[in-house]
Amino acid sequence: MQRFFGLMLACMLLALPVRGVPAQDETAGRLVHLLDYIGVDYGGAVADGQVSSAAEYAEMQEFTASVAQLVLSLPSKPGREELAREANALRTAVDDKASAADVIRMTGQLKARIGELYELRLAPQRAPDLVAGAQIYAAQCAACHGAQGHGDGPAGQGLDPPPSDFHDPIRQGSQSLAMLYNTISYGVTGTAMVGFGSLSEQERWALAFYVGSLRHDAATRRAGELAWQDGCCKDQFADLFAVAGAVPDQVGGSPQLAVLAYLRSTPLALRDSRGESLALTRQLLQESLAQYRAGDRAGAYRTALAAYLDGFEPLEQVLQAVDPALKLEVEARMMAYREPLRATGSQADVEQLHAGLVKALDRVEAALAAGNLDAKLAFASAFFILLREGLEAVLVLAAMFAFLGKAGRHEAYRYLHIGWAGALAAGVATWGVAAYVVTISGATRELSEGFIALLAAGILFYMGFWLHDKSHADRWQAYINQHLGSMGGRSLWLLAFLAFIAVYREVFETILFFQALWLQTTPAGQSMVLVGALSGAVVLALVSWGLLRLSTRLPLGLFFGASALLMYLLAIVFAGKGIVALQEAGTLPISSIAFPRVDLLGIYPTLQSLGAQALLVIGAALHYALALRKRRGPYSKA
């Protein structure tokens, strides 16, 4: 075991750079990693001023000499010379066989100063996903460390030194998650433990949190959960930084250790989503501006995109319930700020956009801190959220039910019921997975919404063509005679799929809005959220019934013409929303133009979204013109 940790110096000096980490962060990270091991292992080398292990003590001397050298390799800036003096003082303390307590204190201070001076992140930006961590562990680590982390994997047999046992209370009791993260990042040269720099920073943190959670059993974690819910240790473990840096043997006895075990396995419990998200948004925006000033346009754009997806996007539902106009303003400002970073904007423009965005975030903070929603506002918010989000899906479903009714295929209604009911169940299940198992990132959510919206737009636009073709009574009767009388399972299941697509996106988005609304409402007003949702559902049901009744009384031509127009309009709305969602996820470029923004209609002031919608309008107009020309000529059977 001593030989295992004696190889750390070579790892620090020779390991390849970690993906996506700037040079100064790389060197600072290696320094912190090395100081961690000095603080942990020094007690095994010196006791009561005497060398207790010659091999360990030689390694400590070698490590502290390396620290002094690495400090001098950090980028020069005010404060580095003070770090060099502290590093030399640490080296002298080890040479003089100082007490373990003194060495631990000195390494801790030096780590903190390095992190502060070089803006080193010693914690993940957001709560890690332990499900992803478990998957990475199974794919990359279980072969050596064993499926349960006991160091008994088949590929680890005969290795010298053997793979770590993550259940070992002695070794793991002295390991913080930050130390595990650094070992995962850099590996250990000369052993089978390689660095995983190919993984993203968030993936390495997910793996570190997962590995760090293996030592504690379910009973300990449950005890920690109960203590945390009772208010224990809130100051001690205030954020991810505190949890990532906590050493189990140093946090105190029960219940502190149990709480740490719980937070390692459930980091989402730490999250005050509003405060954390706003702080992260501000931090990333500031980093983005600094990167832009340093000439790194690509890096500035990526960081600005992360400020929206990882910082502000999780706040959108909460802010929508409090101040919808402000939410739209910040979204627009975020997009406007990113645009010149990717293009050729001047520094003055970027600085001005950044300043305006920061001021808007100040207003967001004030709006969220102003208090919870009262009962009346809670009712109105719930009612209009459900009505607004459900209306698009209801319009599609009503047209489809009416279509089958006109065709006399009432027995096929059940396929539409399967589609919308399946979408409802899938939306609730997705919310459950997002809330309790996996944290869906902002990018994943925007991509999902974007692709689903574009898929729905394509299907609806095709339906518009189809319905318009059938708006002539003779064509419709010919189609009935030729197709619908024998319409079988494949066609019916396609209808069910369309119903599913039309409803799923709206269901999931509605659930997210209601989750945020519930948290933002006073306890007395939460019952009004339910009343508002129920009232909105009743109105939707009445609208659906009214549309169906109206459709049965309309002449065939008028019915199909109106339905075709509705499909075209919804396709245009979904196309705009889909394009903008992909732009917000950074998948598509953004070219802002002066144009009104109407969210309800999917109209946004970007060249790409308006261009896509213009193409759909032109396509619909051309189809209408061709159909009109055909009708003026001799009738040809559809």
pLDDT digits (tens, 9 = 90+) for 68-80: 888 888 888 888 8
User: In this predicted model, what pLDDT tens digit does every residue of 415-448 receive, in sequence order?
Assistant: 888 888 888 888 777 666 654 444 444 445 555 6
- Indicate if 206 and 289 belong to the same structural domain: no
- Determine the pLDDT at residue 482: 47
Least confident of 24-28, 266-270, 385-389: 24-28
Most confident by average pLDDT, 294-298, 501-505, 562-566:
294-298
Helix (H) or strand (E) run with residue 51 in it: strand 50-51
Tokens 């609806």 appear where? 460
The answer to whether residue 63 scores a pLDDT higher than 50 is: yes
Q: Which of 88, 117, 146 is the last residue of a domain?
A: 117
The answer to whether residue 275 scores a pLDDT higher than 90 is: no
- Indicate if 176 and 58 belong to the same structural domain: no
- Indicate if 315 and 334 belong to the same structural domain: yes
Residue 637 lies in a domain: no
Return the biggest CA–CA distance within the chain. 108
Encoding tokens for residue 571? Answer: 């396709």
Q: Which of 270, 301, 320 is the last residue of a domain?
A: 270
The answer to whether residue 93 scores a pLDDT higher than 90 is: yes
**CA–CA dist 281, 337 (Å, integer):** 13
The answer to whether residue 123 scores a pLDDT higher than 60 is: yes
Four-residue CA torsion sign, 485, 491, 492, 496:
negative
- Indicate if 491 and 392 belong to the same structural domain: yes
User: In this predicted model, what pLDDT tens digit does every residue of 355-370 receive, in sequence order?
Assistant: 999 999 888 877 776 5
Residue 505 lies in a domain: yes
Residue 619 lies in a domain: yes
- Determine the pLDDT at residue 85: 92
- Determine the pLDDT at residue 259: 92
Residue 440 lies in a domain: yes
Contacting residues for 66 by C-beta, under 8 A, at least 6 apart: 9, 12, 13, 34
Q: Helix/strand/coil (H, E, C) string of 598-632?
A: EHHHCECCEHHHHHHHHHHHHHHHHHHHHHHHHHH
**CA–CA dist 399, 551 (Å, integer):** 8
How many domains in the chain? Answer: 4
- Indicate if 222 and 335 belong to the same structural domain: no
- Domain CATH code at residue 596: 1.20.1250
- Indicate if 395 and 499 belong to the same structural domain: yes
- Indicate if 175 and 257 belong to the same structural domain: yes
Residue 173 lies in a domain: yes
Q: Which amino acid is at 1?
A: M
Q: Which of 270, 290, 309 is the last residue of a domain?
A: 270
Least confident of 40-54, 417-431, 434-448, 601-615: 434-448
- Indicate if 386 and 521 belong to the same structural domain: yes
- Indicate if 504 and 622 belong to the same structural domain: yes
CA dihedral 186→188→192→194, nearest 10 degrees, is 10
Q: Residue 51, exposed/middle/buried by CB under 10 A (0-12, 13-18, 19+)?
A: middle
- Indicate if 472 and 436 belong to the same structural domain: yes
Least confident of 141-150, 194-203, 274-283, 340-349: 274-283
- Domain CATH code at residue 179: 1.10.760.10
**CA–CA dist 225, 518 (Å, integer):** 23
DSSP 209-245: HHHHHTTS-HHHHHHHHHHHHTTTTTTTT-SHHHHHH
Smallest CA-to-CA distance from 90 within 72, 112, 108, 117 is with 108
User: In this predicted model, what pLDDT tens digit does every residue of 369-389 receive, in sequence order?
Assistant: 654 555 666 677 678 777 777
Q: Is residue 320 a contact partner of residue 513, using CB atoms and an 8 Å limit?
A: yes
Q: Is residue 508 a contact partner of residue 427, using CB atoms and an 8 Å limit?
A: yes
The answer to whether residue 391 scores a pLDDT higher than 60 is: yes
Q: Is residue 400 a contact partner of residue 495, using CB atoms and an 8 Å limit?
A: yes
**CA–CA dist 27, 621 (Å, integer):** 62
471-490 residues labelled b (16+ CB within 10 A) or e (exposed): bbeebbebbbeeebeebeee
The answer to whether residue 32 scores a pLDDT higher than 50 is: yes
User: In this predicted model, what pLDDT tens digit does every residue of 171-202 receive, in sequence order?
Assistant: 788 788 888 888 888 776 556 787 787 788 88
Smallest CA-to-CA distance from 5 within 29, 58, 41 is with 41
| CA distance between the termini of the chain | 81
Q: Is residue 525 a contact partner of residue 378, using CB atoms and an 8 Å limit?
A: yes
Four-residue CA torsion sign, 452, 453, 456, 457:
negative
Please state the length of the chain: 638
Cα 293 from chain centroid (whole Å): 27
- Determine the pLDDT at residue 633: 55
Q: pTM of the predicted model, to two decimals?
A: 0.44
**CA–CA dist 636, 475 (Å, integer):** 9
- Indicate if 76 and 178 belong to the same structural domain: no
**CA–CA dist 478, 39 (Å, integer):** 85
**CA–CA dist 555, 433 (Å, integer):** 46
Four-residue CA torsion sign, 222, 223, 225, 230:
positive
Q: Is residue 321 a contact partner of residue 513, using CB atoms and an 8 Å limit?
A: yes
Residue 345 lies in a domain: yes
566 is in which domain, residue-wise? 375-632
- Indicate if 526 and 619 belong to the same structural domain: yes
Cα 106 from chain centroid (whole Å): 37
Smallest CA-to-CA distance from 122 within 204, 193, 67, 43 is with 204
Q: Between 450 and 68, where is the model more confident? A: 68
Residue 124 lies in a domain: no
**CA–CA dist 57, 336 (Å, integer):** 58
Residue 213 lies in a domain: yes
Name all contacts of 334-337 with Cβ < 8 Å and 24+ positions apart. 334/304, 334/307, 334/308, 334/584, 335/583, 335/584, 335/590, 335/592, 335/606, 336/592, 337/285, 337/304
Smallest CA-to-CA distance from 194 within 139, 140, 146 is with 140
Tokens 């080890």 appear where? 94
